[in-house]
Structure 1
Amino acid sequence: MDIKGKTALVTGGASGLGRATVEHFVSLGANVVILDLNDEAGAAVAAAQGGKVTYVNTNVTDEVAVANAVAVAKDKYGSVDIAVNCAGIGTPQKVLDRDGNRYPMDHFKKVISINLIGSYNVLAQAAEAMQTNEPNEDGERGVIINTASVAAFEGQIGQAAYAASKGGIAALTLPTAREFSRQGVRVMTIAPGFIHTPLFDGLPEAAVDSLKQQVVFPKRLGKPHEYAKLAAHIIDNAYLNGETIRMDAAARMAPK
């Protein structure tokens, strides 16, 4: 799919991986609708990109809110051709506390709701909108890219909820790719490693250095624009479908 002139939904597009994706897609000629809850940051990103970007305050777990964002994209730009799910949270919490007592379910439910159910909500509504698009020569009508994490495969202590949510996203990829073949919609997932998003800015230098030591090569944190470039390649390469791609410089996470 040629991204130029196409319209993309990007969740979490006000910062981090999402913002880098928004900016890169616009540089390639796409229109973008940002789905986020940070009004100030979302409006600032949209303003910086002119009329090519529209911000819509959207809770990705809310079906009505996502439907509204899809409607805005179709009304303003004519279609929804691409969806990239970057919205998510990663706050850690163990299953049991120091005294061996289990924590309440609230944290687990919240992480699953935002990361997994939110991704599913956007995926489902994007696919529904894409099926009416005019197909290209391959019969393709749309591309959906979800964001998992290397934690889906080697989650650390304290990442039970996060790893479960990202593992669910990875597991969602193939069955939906198979199902949406009827609609001409591809589904792919990117599983990033240690990417230098704003989350890392609040960490002590020693903690960041420790994470870097788990990276094989190049021995540094990944950059958000590297995620954005991979997303753009997935859109361009029609033979990528139903797979999760690790983007981690060969890093494998230790137990803690």
Structure 2
Amino acid sequence: MAENYQFETRCIHGDGGFVEEHPYGAVSVPIFQTATFAHPGIGKSTGYDYSRESNPTRYELESVMSSLEGADDSIACATGMAAIGICLELFGEGSHILCTEDLYGGTVRMFKSIGEKRGLKFSYVDTSDIDLVRKNIRKETKALYIETPSNPTMRITDFAEMRKLADEFGLLILADNTFLSPYFQKPLQLGADIVVHSGTKFLGGHNDVLAGFVCVKGKELSEKLRYTYKTVGCSLSDMLPSR
């Protein structure tokens, strides 16, 4: 049974059941290298219409990631930065995001060069200090952006305590789980609402793939992120999930 799969099996099969649906019973994931899909009839769909929005090859990779992270949905993006970028679209002008001070440098660059230009506000604190986090929450704070262990100084943030603050102040928790991967840590189970990954690092493992993932808890967040995803077109190529 899929619910009894160990982690190593989930890395290959997710929650199971894919092979039976593959054309000709293909054991490996087929590459659906097509931009558009035929419709069975007027107003009918196979579930796939246009590969920018969804693609069967990419869907299987996303399903595996959801299985590994315990997510309700996972979105495969062209890069880790693209994954972070669609998350920023959840917040309107004037929103404040309180961040781990030792974030990956590319994340800080995106926040400063793109996020701030869009009217978002960011501040950075040692999120291992719960009292310090509480003191820096403002009335316009909408989210906590956490990286734990942080890269590169390995600071640890307590997700359970962050969840208490998030519930108290009505905040989202976004977590960068690139450094540990779901093998060692599952932030959604620890209290995060959204998890982002760079697939280039431990998930890819060979330094030969550019990819990113957003793993989500809850249907409402998933729908908002997927709307942005199909609108801005940051989807992962259908060639990469087969590697």
> TM-score range with shorter-chain normalisation?
0.3 to 0.5
More helix by share: 1
TM-score by length of 1: 0.32
TM-score by length of 2: 0.34
